């Protein structure tokens, strides 16, 4: 098995706000191997976006980090601003949720593509243009030469997400972060973009962290899944294993909320209760107030990670008998 390209060790990201310290990411550990697609799943506000922005160190200066983020063996938390800038856009890239607003409206697509090449690669202007055309072709944009002259508003949402994906993968990054990349798109376009991601992984061997709350997307694309709740990873495992045998009650509830085939999409089975306030978490399990199987111990002590088979862990007292890892 290949060495992991990314290894996150007990990462904490705390954000001071007026209402108190928000523990957006609270002791998260995981690793990603080259060419692997890892899904990060959770409800809004569970800290998954903050996790992504922590990895590239793009949170406000007030954010407090601890732990280690080892990328190709080097700790990103120890890097200077300038070193991080050099890594971003070249070795680690990211695709955002809303392609409609992620491109600067007042410059042509070509201008923005060439600009990224200018600051991340050593090329002559002529090479940049050729490469920009090549990048658009790689994401299956027809007549890329003409598209270079387009402004963002002259493109559809799906087309823009392709352009953004081209920007994010054109320099063959080791790791691509995708923060809800398909949420804002039509279903058919979603399919195409997901296909594009799979293709990029196969062709470039790029590792992808796919942040989403859409379990359908996860099942379609991811090798492994991290389930996040209130800033922590509560269950991990191979995608199929998680779908077949969810171990944590929260994961079960998530899976139950997926609409069945043929069922109307609007009739979602939601999880009762609300996500906890990240400024003042209880000492016990953060899911306990909403958990259908809460026990006495859940109220007082946060569960450690219990092994649940090869590469599988769950933070739930129900699995105590298996023993902590």
Partner 1 sequence: MTRYIVRRLLQTVVTAIFVTVIVFSLARLTGDPTLLILPTEATEADRTFFRRQLGLDRSLPEQYLTFLGNALRGDLGVSFRYREPALDLVLSRLPATLELAAASMALAVIVALPIGILAAIRRGSYLDVGTRWFATLGQSTPTFWLGLVLMLIFAVRLGWLPSSGRGGIEYLILPAVTLGWYSAAAIARLTRSSMLEMMQNDFIRFERLAGLPERVIVLKHALKNAAIPIITYMALQFGVLLSGAVVTEQVFAWPGLGQVVVEAINTRDYPVIQAAVLVTAFLFLLINLAVDLLYSWLDPRIRY
Partner 2 sequence: MAAEPTETATLRPVEPAEPLSGPGRRVESYWVRLRSLVHGAPVLTGVMVAAFLVAAIFAPWIAPHDPGAASFLVALNPPFWVEGGSIAYPLGADQLGRDILSRLIYGAQLSLIVSFFAIVIAGSVGIVLGLTAGYVGGAIDSLIMRIVDAFLAMPFILMALGFVAALGTSVTNIVIVMAITNWARYARLVRGEVLSVKERDFVALARVAGQPRWRIVWKHVLPNVTNSIIILATLDLGRVIILEASLSFLGLGVQPPAISWGLMLADGRSYMTVAWWLTVMPGLAILFTVLSLNIMGDWLRDRLDPRQRIE
Positions that interact with partner 2 (CB under 8 A) = 15, 19-20, 22, 24, 43-45, 47, 49-50, 59-60, 97, 179-180, 183, 213-214, 254, 257, 268, 270-275, 277, 279-280
How far is Cα 253 from Cα 242, in angstroms, rounded to an integer? 12
86 interacts with, out of partner 2, partner 1, none, CB within 5 to 8 A per kind: partner 1
Using CA atoms, how far residue 314 sits from 23, 175, 320, in Å, is 20, 26, 10
Strands (E), the chain: 6-17, 20-32, 37-41, 64-71, 74-75, 92-95, 175-179, 207-212, 224-229, 232-238, 306-307, 313-314
Strand partners, 22: 15
How far is Cα 71 from Cα 57, in angstroms, rounded to an integer? 13
Instruction: Pick the closer one to partner 1 by CB: 96 or 227.
Output: 96
How far is Cα 245 from Cα 267, in angstroms, rounded to an integer? 24
Closest separation between CB of residue 102 and partner 2, Å?
12
Q: Cα–chain-centroid distance for residue 30?
A: 13
| Cβ neighbours for 193, distance < 8 A, ≥ 6 positions apart | 158, 161, 162, 165, 181, 182, 185
How far is Cα 218 from Cα 240, in angstroms, rounded to an integer? 10
116 interacts with, out of partner 2, partner 1, none, CB within 5 to 8 A per kind: partner 1
Which parts of 148-187 interact with partner 1 (CB under 8 A)? 151, 153, 164, 167-168
Instruction: Pick the closer one to partner 1 by CB: 168 or 271.
Output: 168
Reduced to 3 states (helix: H, G, I; strand: E, B; else coil), residue 241 is helix
Contact characters 38-77, partner 1, x per CB under 8 A = ------------------x-x-------------------
Closest separation between CB of residue 3 and partner 2, Å?
31
Instruction: Pick the closer one to partner 2 by CB: 55 or 136.
Output: 55
87 interacts with, out of partner 2, partner 1, none, CB within 5 to 8 A per kind: partner 1
Closest separation between CB of residue 18 and partner 1, Å?
14
How far is Cα 59 from Cα 91, in angstroms, rounded to an integer? 18
Determine how many CB atoms are found less than 10 A away from the CB of residue 5.
22
Reduced to 3 states (helix: H, G, I; strand: E, B; else coil), residue 49 is helix
Instruction: Pick the closer one to partner 1 by CB: 119 or 280.
Output: 119
Question: For tokens 């042509």, what's the residue?
Answer: 108
How far is Cα 185 from Cα 73, in angstroms, rounded to an integer? 36
Closest separation between CB of residue 152 and partner 2, Å?
19
The verdict on 86 binding partner 1 (CB under 8 A) reads: yes
88 interacts with, out of partner 2, partner 1, none, CB within 5 to 8 A per kind: partner 1
Closest separation between CB of residue 215 and partner 2, Å?
8
Instruction: Pick the closer one to partner 1 by CB: 11 or 52.
Output: 52
214 interacts with, out of partner 1, partner 2, none, CB within 5 to 8 A per kind: partner 2
Instruction: Pick the closer one to partner 1 by CB: 17 or 101.
Output: 101
Which parts of 94-123 interact with partner 1 (CB under 8 A)? 94, 96, 98, 101-108, 115-116, 119-120
């Amino acid at each position: 098995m290949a060495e992991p390209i990314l290894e996150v060790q007990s990462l904490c990201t705390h954000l001071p706000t007026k209402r108190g310290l928000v523990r957006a990411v609270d002791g998260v550990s995981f690793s990603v191997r080259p060419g692997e697609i890892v899904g990060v799943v959770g409800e809004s506000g569970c800290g998954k976006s903050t996790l992504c922005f922590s990895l590239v160190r793009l949170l406000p200066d007030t954010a407090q980090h601890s732990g280690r983020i080892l990328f190709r063996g080097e700790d990103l938390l120890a890097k200077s601003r300038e070193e991080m800038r050099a890594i971003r856009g070249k070795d680690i890239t990211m695709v955002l949720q809303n392609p409609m607003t992620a491109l600067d409206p007042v410059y042509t697509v070509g201008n923005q593509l060439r600009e990224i090449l200018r600051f991340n690669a050593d090329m002559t202007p002529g090479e940049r243009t050729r490469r920009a055309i090549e990048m658009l072709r790689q994401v299956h944009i027809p007549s890329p030469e003409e598209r270079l002259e387009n402004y963002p508003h002259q493109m559809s949402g799906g087309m823009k997400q392709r352009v953004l994906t081209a920007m994010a993968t054109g320099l063959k990054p080791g790791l691509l972060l995708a923060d809800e990349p398909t949420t804002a798109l039509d279903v058919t376009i979603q399919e195409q973009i997901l296909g594009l991601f799979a293709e990029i992984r196969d062709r470039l061997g790029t590792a992808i962290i796919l942040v989403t709350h859409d379990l359908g997307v996860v099942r379609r694309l991811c090798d492994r899944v991290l389930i996040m709740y209130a800033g922590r990873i509560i269950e991990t495992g191979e995608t199929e294993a998680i779908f077949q045998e969810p171990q944590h009650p929260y994961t079960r509830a998530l899976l139950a909320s997926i609409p069945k085939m043929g069922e109307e999409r609007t009739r979602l089975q939601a999880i009762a209760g609300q996500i906890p306030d990240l400024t003042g978490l209880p000492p016990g399990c953060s899911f306990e107030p909403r958990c259908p199987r809460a026990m006495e111990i859940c109220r007082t002590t946060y569960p450690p990670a219990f092994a649940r088979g090869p590469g599988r862990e769950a933070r739930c007292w129900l699995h105590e008998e298996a023993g902590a890892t």
